Amino acid sequence: MEDQFPQHPNEDEEFPEDVKAVASQAMEWQRRTRRYLKAAGRDAWSQFQIAAKGGGKRGHQRKLTPEEAAVLARNVHEYLERVEPLMRDRGCTKAELCHKAFGHSDSKELYRLTLPPGTDPKKRAVRVTIDKYFTLISTLADVLCCTVDRIASCVLRGTRFQVLGLEEFSELEKIQLELQHITDQLEAHFAWYAIYRLTADTKAKVIESGTANCWPLWAPGSFDPIYGRERTPQEVQKYKLDFKIATDPKQAYYRLDTYRYVNPPEWGWYLNAFESGALQDDEFFFVPHCPLGYMLFWDLPSRREEPASYAHSVTDQLHWHRTNWPYTEPEDEWDEAIGRPWGQTSGRKNTELQYFFWLIAYPHPDGGRVVPTLYSPRKEGGAYLLPLDLVGLEMLADAVWHSKTEHCYALERIKRLLVDKDGEGKSTIERAFLWTGGWLDQNPILKQDLEGDRASVELDRIIRERLREESRMAGGKPNDDLTEE
């Protein structure tokens, strides 16, 4: 891509980062990419979700054709038959599934959403409205502790929501499709969704016990101890609000309430990508991750609207970086002695690593799935955390990946990491996710909870031993109830 940008004389000007300007640039990119919002989520589940929430004319819920309804109901029946043993293991019967989904245990609703082999769909009055199926699938994913996408890929086969043929996808959609496919495959292998969910629930319990451990987010400033005086009423109120947010499992990975107002509702608050509260040091990297590199991401004119200005800006910024930037590479390692990642930010000793970009597998802000996400620690303004759906990827369209000697469009860099296969047929992204994918279940929240469990077990052992000893000293026989299993 070196010859794609005309060479310009460098004016040796520095490019200081201004947080407000960067945030403003992010908002401008969202305005540029609004046309992609309609294209976002060409996958089966996203399309199904749009229909269930009334994406049709005049906001009415869309309906299935009788033929589609029969296919979907038959798929739901087959899927439920297959996972019923797992549901029982989790203490959930079909009646309880109905209660969770529809607020009552009447099996009549489930009867109309399923179609056993050889059953006449007309006589069974199979439902053709989508919202009930949507609710059932969402609830089933919650019960089975898996992603909705995994269930949708099974039960939506043969309907119009099934994934489109390859020829119907744009280049951007192909990149997003493959990124999500890799994430889904490894999520199934490592059970990331279940671990993220367990971590979220456990974090609420940990914080309620009085520990300000908010991984993978920073603890709110209001949690800091105050010495020498009492908190003011305003500080107490702020503490209570922060406590409520910090103990909300739905806000375990993004602080939703704080910045929900930033964008119009149809954009989604999280596209601001800043101020999610994510950690900015090595401790964040228990999450599955893959290094991407350095990028020109800010202060670039629109490549479509101002191609000459864009080329000039890229050329000048590349020259400045190659003259002044050390291009330190992170040491993406795991410390066995202390059981934690290290070298990703080098403890902030190499400040340039604060601007390094990573691809991570992370919960979507709306919940229900793990998605490929862009992450950069940064400094002022907070970490940058952007879910890479189609809108997120389009925001990367003008960004430029660069090293000391090479550069290319950021999307081209991601595409290369997807197609660069090793001898086993695994891409660079797959290899990185496999290397780091097992770190998640050793994160600080679960580790702290495990230590508490170990302490409880050890306390039980100590008490049993003491009571047995006291029983012997009194000349009695050891109580069978005190015998360790």
Domain extents for the chain?
Answer: 2-37+189-442, 44-163, 445-482
Q: Percent of the chain scored above 90 by pLDDT?
A: 43
Cβ 431 vs Cβ 425: under 8 Å: no
Q: What is the rounded distance in angstroms from the CA atom of residue 47 to the CA atom of residue 237?
A: 41
474: DSSP letter = T
| Residue 173: predicted pLDDT | 79
pLDDT for res 259: 44
Q: Which tokens hold the place of 55? A: 């994406």
> Three-state DSSP class for 403?
coil
The pLDDT value given to residue 272 = 61
> Could you give the C-alpha distances from 139 to 45, 100, 368, in angstroms and in order?
14, 7, 10
Is the separation of the CB atoms in 149 and 184 below 8 Å?
A: yes
Q: What is the pLDDT of residue 382?
A: 84
Residue 413, H or E segment? helix 410-419
| DSSP E strand boundaries for 46-178 | none
Low-confidence stretches of the chain (pLDDT < 70) are: 1-43, 54-61, 163-169, 257-272, 347-349, 452-453, 455-456, 475-485
- Mean residue pLDDT of the chain comes to 81
164 vs 44: CA distance, rounded Å? 9
Pull the structure tokens for residue 377: 């620690």
Helix (H, G, I), strand (E, B) or coil at 400: strand
Q: Residue 253: which of 209, 216, 286, 204 has the closest Cα?
A: 216
Length of the chain counted residue by residue:
485
HEC-encoded secondary structure of 305-332:
CCHHHHHHHHHHHHHHHHHHCCCCCCCC
CB atoms within 10 A of CB 233: 8
User: What is the pLDDT, as a whole number, of residue 60?
Assistant: 45
Q: What is d(CA 330, CA 166) in angstroms, rounded to the nearest whole number? A: 36
Cα(257)–Cα(242) distance, rounded to whole angstroms?
A: 10
Q: Residue 27: CB partners within 8 Å, gap ≥ 6?
A: 263, 272
Task: Give me the pLDDT at residue 17, please.
Answer: 47
* Whole-number Å distance between alpha carbons of 16 and 9: 20
Q: What is the dihedral of CA 118, 124, 125, 126, to 10 degrees?
A: -50
- Residue 267: per-residue pLDDT: 42
- The DSSP secondary-structure symbol of 301 reads -
- 216 upstream amide cis, omega within 30 of 0: yes
Residues 42 and 40: their CA atoms lie apart, in Å, by 6
β partners of residue 359: 290, 374
10: amino acid identity, one letter: N
Taking residue 189's Cβ as centre, other Cβ atoms within 10 Å add up to 12
What tokens appear for 471 in the block?
């029983």
Question: In sequence order, what are the residues at sequence separation of 6 or more whose Cβ sits closer than 8 angstroms to the Cβ of residue 182?
Answer: 372, 418, 427, 429, 430, 433
Measured in degrees and rounded to the nearest 5, phi and psi for residue 373 equal -140, 140
Q: What is the pLDDT of residue 376?
A: 94
Cβ contacts of residue 122 below 8 Å, gap of 6+? 66
409-441 pLDDT, tens digit per residue, is 999 999 999 999 999 999 999 999 999 999 999
Q: What is the pTM of this model?
A: 0.71
Return the biggest CA–CA distance within the chain: 96
Q: Which of 108, 90, 89 is nearest to 98 (CA)?
A: 108
Torsion on CA atoms 459, 463, 468, 469, rounded to nearest 10: 100
- pLDDT on residue 349: 67
Structure-block tokens of residue 18: 């201004």
Cα–chain center distance at 63: 31
